[in-house]
Amino acid sequence: MSTQILLHIKGITKTYKTPTQTIHALKGVNLEIQEGEILSLLGVNGAGKTTLSSIISTLNPPTSGDILLHGKSIYDDVTEYRKNIGFCPQKPNIDGMLTLEQNLMFAGKYFNLPTEVIQERMEYLMNRFELKKYAKSFGSILSGGYKQRFIIARTLMHQPKLVILDEPTVGLDPHIRRNLWEVIKELKKEGVTVLLTTHYLDEAEVLSDRVCILDKGIIQLIDTPMNLKNSYNKGNLEDVFIQLLQDSAKQESE
Amino acid sequence: MKLTRILSNLQVLKTLVQHDIMLHNSHLLRRCIDTIIWASCVTIVAQYLLPLFGMSHSFGIFLVISNSVLWGLFEINSQLAEFLSEIEGGNIISYFLTLPLPASLVFVKYALGYAYRSWISSFLVLTSLFFIQDFGQLHLTPWSIFSFLFMHFLANLFFGFFCLFTVSLSPDVTYTTTIRSRVIFPLWHLGCANFTWLMLYQVSPFFAYLNLLNPMTYLLEGIRASILPQFISLSYGTCVAATIGFIILFGYLGIIRLKKRLDCL
């Protein structure tokens, strides 16, 4: 694994204010994402996983803190940073009124890719994600699994360095989940850095180089799945996670 | 460096607008039929039926020219509902907001897309002119036609940006009827659609001056000043300047409020 740091997340906080309450979704997150790794963000509902991935994808700004790409703040030039990332949200946001081919064509144009490169990438991604037979179909008619597959294909259109996948396998059939796992593994082989937000601990265990466990807006642990299992003396990541939650609840009650 | 970035942003914006135009054009035939039915009804009533109640024959052409602009105002309601469901559902806009351009330009893309949609549709309203036999009332010189087309374009640009502002005023999709009743209807009915500003001034100078705060006054007076000089109340130049001012004002307010609401960078 390369040890070069791609992204340095420094003291990120996020606070939401509603008329009745103030929610501290992230309370000072510090994290380094290494080039070419698959890093999984784990946590229970409301732990801050989606908030963190939305901030890294620049969909939302942090309340405070900074993110550095190769040592430079991404907020100095957000549009330039966006050329380096691909964000795949929890809910597939395909343009249902366009065909898959048209969706991909526009995805290439948004990143100012030359026409021949767009054609080449379209061909490659359609084949790789087995979408060829739906090329002329409208996005709205696809099933959940194909939509998810397509969203990942669209995310890869401009060959980003960092791919942010926010719960990409939620609600998918087991065989489609496995299929997407293969896709994610292939991305790693190609040198793409993947930030994976997931609820599924088996998924994190199989795919990740490192896992980062978030709880109540702060990072509890970052390590390789193997080290975590060894240090907690557990057979799988799910047991480690449950142990951590129990420890956290015990600490809170004390 | 800065210029390169601006050009790159504009290139992405251009592609986003092309995307919208492509989508709108796929519904063009249906929209043609909608507008022609609407405009024909207005024309038939204004040109052929209202004169039976003693209304001037010139009222027909007055209404058709006014309606070539008004269609865009009524379009706001459907665009409002569409945009609200888009931002509430976190749909494709969440993709656009991660593209390599500032969030403000994503909202500008929506405004331009809506402007194109109402421009192309309201243009079709003019086909109803074929129902009117008295073309002599129109001032058709190359300059007046150019002035008319320019004002028509500006009016629809205004509706595009005004739509952003109305979206920013609406907490959810159930507010579309509230916006229609509280914003669109007063703008239309009090905004010189059925009378000229001068007529209002003759009845009540106070209300006439108050009406100068209504952007529709300039849109409608401007479009008539270009091609129906017999109905001039406010000068064409004043109307163009005021319309540009309102586009900037409502565009700015709409974008600022939407950025805050969607918590964008």
**What mean pLDDT comes out for the span B44-57?**
84
Distance from the Cα of B79 to chain A's closest Cα (Å) equals 16
Write out the H or E segment, with its range, that includes residue A15.
strand A5-17
**What mean pLDDT comes out for the span B236-254?**
97
What is the CA B215 to chain-centroid distance, rounded? Answer: 10
Q: Quote the pLDDT of residue A248.
A: 78
Q: Quote the pLDDT of residue B58.
A: 79
Q: Quote the pLDDT of residue B132.
A: 62
Res A1 pLDDT > 50 = no
Q: Quote the pLDDT of residue A2.
A: 46
Nearest-by-CA chain B residue for A88: B95
Q: What is the pLDDT of residues B82-91, one digit of tens each?
A: 899 888 876 7
pTM for this predicted structure: 0.91
Strand pairing of A210-215 and A38-42? parallel
Across the beta sheet with A72-73, what order do the strands follow?
Answer: A22-34, A5-17, A64-69, A72-73
Contact A12, A67 (CB under 8 A): yes
Q: What is the pLDDT of residues B171-193, one digit of tens each?
A: 988 899 999 999 999 999 998 88
Which chain A residues are within 8 Å of B264, Cβ to Cβ? 59-61
Q: What is the pLDDT of residues B6-33, one digit of tens each?
A: 899 999 999 999 999 998 888 888 888 8
Q: Is A137 exposed, middle or buried (CB count within 10 Å of its CB: 0-12, 13-18, 19+)?
A: middle
Contact B108, B10 (CB under 8 A): no
Q: Does B9 contact chain A (CB < 8 Å)?
A: yes
Res A220 pLDDT > 70 = yes
Which chain A residues are within 8 Å of B263, Cβ to Cβ? 60-61
CA-CA-CA-CA torsion sign (B13, B15, B19, B21)? positive
Among B89, B100, B263, beta carbon nearest to A79: B100
Portion of chain B with pLDDT greater than 70, in percent? 96
- Beta carbons within 8 Å of B37's beta carbon, 6+ residues apart: none
Among B9, B91, B265, beta carbon nearest to A93: B91
With CB atoms and an 8 Å threshold, state whether A59 touches B100.
Answer: no
What is the CA B51 to chain-centroid distance, rounded? Answer: 29
Contact B122, B152 (CB under 8 A): yes
Least Cα distance to B35 among B115, B123, B152, B116 occurs for B123
With CB atoms and an 8 Å threshold, state whether B265 touches A112.
Answer: no
Average pLDDT, chain B: 89
Per-residue pLDDT band for B164 (boundaries 50, 70, 90) equals very high
CA distance A171 to A145: 9
With CB atoms and an 8 Å threshold, state whether A89 touches B95.
Answer: yes
Q: Does B86 contact chain A (CB < 8 Å)?
A: no
Q: What is the pLDDT of residues A43-92, one digit of tens each?
A: 888 889 989 999 999 999 999 999 999 999 999 999 999 999 999 988 88
Torsion angle defined by CA atoms of residues A51, A53, A56 and A62, in that order, rounded to the nearest 10 degrees: 0
Q: Quote the pLDDT of residue B42.
A: 82
Contact A34, A222 (CB under 8 A): no
CA distance B184 to B186: 6
Q: What CA–CA distances, in Å, run from A56 to A28, A49, A59, B156?
A: 14, 11, 8, 37
B217-226 residues labelled b (16+ CB within 10 A) or e (exposed): bbbbbbbbbb
Residue with structure tokens 């194109």?
B116
Alpha-carbon Rg for chain B in angstroms: 19
Per-residue pLDDT band for B139 (boundaries 50, 70, 90) equals confident
Q: Does B99 contact chain A (CB < 8 Å)?
A: yes
- Beta carbons within 8 Å of B21's beta carbon, 6+ residues apart: B113, B116
Q: Quote the pLDDT of residue A175.
A: 81
Contact B256, B236 (CB under 8 A): no
Question: For chain A, what is the largest distance between any 2 Cα atoms, rounded to a whole number of angstroms?
Answer: 63
Among A61, A82, A97, beta carbon nearest to B99: A82
Q: Does B15 contact chain A (CB < 8 Å)?
A: yes
Q: Quote the pLDDT of residue B1.
A: 65
Q: Does B105 contact chain A (CB < 8 Å)?
A: no
Residue to mutate among A110, A112, A165, with most B CBs inside 10 A, is A110
Strand pairing of A162-166 and A85-88? parallel
Residue with structure tokens 């409002």?
B80
CA distance B235 to B197: 11
Res A244 pLDDT > 70 = yes
Q: What is the pLDDT of residues A81-100, one digit of tens each?
A: 999 999 998 888 888 889 99
Q: How many helices (H) and strands (E) does chain A have?
A: 9, 10
Beta pairing partners, A67: A9
CA distance A215 to A9: 17
Per-residue pLDDT band for B130 (boundaries 50, 70, 90) equals low
Q: Quote the pLDDT of residue B98.
A: 93
Q: Does B100 contact chain A (CB < 8 Å)?
A: yes
Which chain A residues are within 8 Å of B5, Cβ to Cβ? 77, 79-80
DSSP string, B70-112: HHHHHHHHHHHHHHHHHHHHT-THHHHTTSSS-HHHHHHHHHH
With CB atoms and an 8 Å threshold, state whether B16 touches A80.
Answer: no
Q: Does B23 contact chain A (CB < 8 Å)?
A: yes
Q: What are phi and psi of A234, to 5 degrees?
A: -120, 160
Q: First vs last Cα of chain A: how many Å apart?
A: 40
Nearest-by-CA chain B residue for A15: B263
Q: Quote the pLDDT of residue B47.
A: 80
Least Cα distance to A95 among A130, A128, A54, A141 occurs for A141
Q: What are phi and psi of A235, to 5 degrees?
A: -85, -25
Helix axes B142-169, B103-125, angle to 10 degrees: 130
CA distance B99 to A196: 20
Residue predicted with more confidence, B251 or B42: B251
Q: Does B41 contact chain A (CB < 8 Å)?
A: no
CA distance A13 to A170: 26
Q: What is the pLDDT of residues A130-185, one digit of tens each?
A: 899 999 999 888 888 888 889 999 999 999 999 999 988 887 778 878 888 988 99
